[in-house]
Amino acid sequence: EAGVAQSPRYKIIEKRQSVAFWCNPISGHATLYWYQQILGQGPKLLIQFQNNGVVDDSQLPKDRFSAERLKGVDSTLKIQPAKLEDSAVYLCASSSTSMETQYFGPGTRLLVL
Amino acid sequence: DAKTTQPNSMESNEEEPVHLPCNHSTISGTDYIHWYRQLPSQGPEYVIHGLTSNVNNRMASLAIAEDRKSSTLILHRATLRDAAVYYCILRAIAGGTSYGKLTFGQGTILTVHP
């Protein structure tokens, strides 16, 4: 069974630029999550989708971050414009339901200069 | 969200058992105890979970105190590949805004010496 795929794996941008990350969850998984992990900390949930609807985006900085899951399968997370403090690893995870085990992708490491 | 407390770091020797403690004194009756681990440069992976009884799987064992205010993840024979950050997480199975969520703390960094 293929795992959660993410791309790109690494990204370096200048502050105030835009960046987008892509995630393809495990086939059939209805629930998709985006986490932000700052160096030395545990992952923090940014947004949770159930199919193509948002369940929780309470910790998403909506002035600069946006995410979509239009067809209820893959998802993109965008930052526009990026700030230095956005440097982190962005992890995507999926689960068959919101109570089942979450499976994580390898993450995208973002460096904002 | 109910919180957990873990030591910042622990060390072990290869092929010896490792006991990773977690305190969760404010656990509620609807919280499952989950453990995830994160290997270097990878996303977290599920290890084990339980509610009241001790649990075993191919990766580890989970010992839960009778009052559920603490638990211990047991790796029976540590290998170099077990070096990772181990997260103890309380996951609500009913009600409220925390339903189903994983709230990660800083975890325990496990170092395994050859």
Question: What pLDDT score does B1 carry?
Answer: 59
The residue among A9, A23, A41, A99 with the most chain B CBs within 10 A of its CB, best to mutate, is A99
Residue of chain A whose Cα is closest to the Cα of B98: A56
Rounded CA gap, B96 and B103, in Å?
A: 14
Q: Is the pLDDT of residue A108 over 70?
A: yes
Judged by CB atoms closer than 8 Å, whether chains meet at A102 and B107 is answered as no
Dist. CA A23–CA A17, nearest whole Å? 20
Q: Do B101 and A91 touch (CB under 8 A)?
A: no
Q: Which amino acid is at B53?
A: S
- Asked whether the beta carbons of residue A104 and residue B44 sit closer than 8 angstroms, the reply is yes
Confidence band, pLDDT 50/70/90 cuts, at residue B39: very high
Q: Give percent above pLDDT 70 in chain A.
A: 99
* Rounded (10°) CA dihedral B59, B93, B25, B71: -10
Over range B20-45, report the average pLDDT.
95
Residues B100, A99: C-beta atoms closer than 8 Å: yes
Q: How far apart are CA A25 and CA A46, in angstroms?
A: 16
User: Are B46 and A40 inside 8 Å of each other by CB?
Assistant: no
Residue A92 to chain B, least CA–CA distance (Å):
9
Chain A interface mutation, best of B47, B101, B103, B109, highest count of A Cβ atoms under 10 Å = B101
Query: Distance from CA of residue A103 to its chain's centroid?
Result: 13
Rg (CA), chain B: 14
**Contact (CB<8Å) A98/B99:** yes
Average pLDDT, rounded, for chain A: 96
Q: What value does the mean pLDDT take over residues A53-69?
A: 95
The pairing of beta strand B108-113 with beta strand B9-13: parallel
